[in-house]
Amino acid sequence: MKAIARAYANFALIKYWGKKDELLKLPVQSSLSFTVDEFYTDMTVTFKDNLKKDVLYIDELLITDKKYTRIHNFMNIVRQRYKIDKYAIIESSSNVHIGAGLASSASSFAALAYAVNLALNLKLSKKELSILARLGSGSASRSIHGGFSLWKAGTDETSYATSLKIDWPEFRMIAVIVNDNEKKIGSSEAMKASLNSPFYDAYVKQSKNDLKAMQNALKEKDIYKVGDIAERNALLMHSTLLPLDLWYFLPDTIKIMNEVKKLRENNIPVYFTMDAGPNVKLITTQEYLNAITSHFKEYPLIVLKEGKAVYGKRIS
């Protein structure tokens, strides 16, 4: 039983930040994201009768550290939920730097969930796939879909992502790479700590309002509104960490944020968002790409269009 799948990373415009259930990875509030085309993970899963435990390779290297533990725990959930008694060889390859705030876990667990689905011939629906991917990484629930998607807060049965079906081919994000090394503070660790922030409740309240406003702005394809809401939401998310003596910003992160503001003063609609890492994602449309990319030549830049939904095939 063998299958291969590819899933693309997604970047949140309305952030997922905080779990009300750590085991089931149920979010405190709903989130909204854009699946991108240039960052992806391929997963090959082969179930074998003679294995005594799961085996994990990442970029052809045998993995036995905490990355293995996380994958193995997910596979245990698969075995428990679908009454499977076999272990698997899992081979992962990705062009997303792991642990750098570039959504590597989203593409990884979405690809893994789909590969498992194909290998075991589970015939899961998009809803069921999103729930399964969520159990590996919350944001992976959104990488089941291409383009814009909404991940709803809820219970184990009702917390999953759906496609928003927004047709906006001119929409772009630009990843500005400040530092692609693995971050010192993991997303889960920081997310858990932020629940004790004096700013957290205010963030959640505003985020719910931002989500409604963002959905309307996307329907209108209004880059000014979309960018403004996303930028504010990102800053609110990061603000929950500051009183805890935690932050992901590096000097170049702040520099880029300030440069974005200068570009807006010159009537270029560009906005920033950041996830749990120092790298900045810019939000704009195709029309303004040249003006923006020429402004940030000192950094590696990746222009991002709409990515596809997860896909793959059963090999045997």
Rounded to two decimals, the pTM is 0.94
The answer to whether residues 24 and 137 touch, using CB atoms and an 8 Å cutoff, is no
DSSP letters of 183-203?
A: PSS-HHHHHHHHTT-TTHHHH
Residue 221's CB is within 10 A of a number of other CB atoms, namely: 14
pLDDT at position 185 is: 83
pLDDT at position 213 is: 98
Q: At what angle do helices 104-119 and 66-82 cross, to 10 degrees?
A: 40
The domains of the chain, with CATH numbers, are 2-167 (3.30.230.10), 171-304 (3.30.70.890)
The answer to whether residues 151 and 161 touch, using CB atoms and an 8 Å cutoff, is yes
Q: Give me the amino acid identity at 8.
A: Y
pLDDT at position 182 is: 78
The answer to whether residues 301 and 293 touch, using CB atoms and an 8 Å cutoff, is yes
Q: Are strands 171-176 and 280-285 parallel, antiparallel or unpaired?
A: antiparallel
Residue 234's CB is within 10 A of a number of other CB atoms, namely: 24
Tell me the HSE value of 238 on the side-chain side, using a 13 A CA sphere. 21
Please give the C-alpha separations between residue 213 and each of 30, 51, 52, in angstroms, as whole numbers.
Answer: 13, 50, 51
pLDDT at position 101 is: 55
Q: Are strands 87-94 and 55-58 parallel, antiparallel or unpaired?
A: parallel
CA 141 to chain centroid, in Å, comes to: 9
In the sheet with 280-285, reading across from the earlier edge strand, the strands are: 271-274, 280-285, 171-176, 301-304
φ/ψ region of 163 (left if φ > 0, alpha if ψ in -120 to 50, else beta) reads: beta
pLDDT at position 269 is: 98
How far apart are the two ends of the chain, measured CA to CA in Å? 5
The three-class DSSP label of residue 114 is helix
Q: How far apart are CA 278 and CA 238, in angstroms?
A: 11
Give the chain's residues under pLDDT 50. 100
Residue 316's CB is within 10 A of a number of other CB atoms, namely: 8
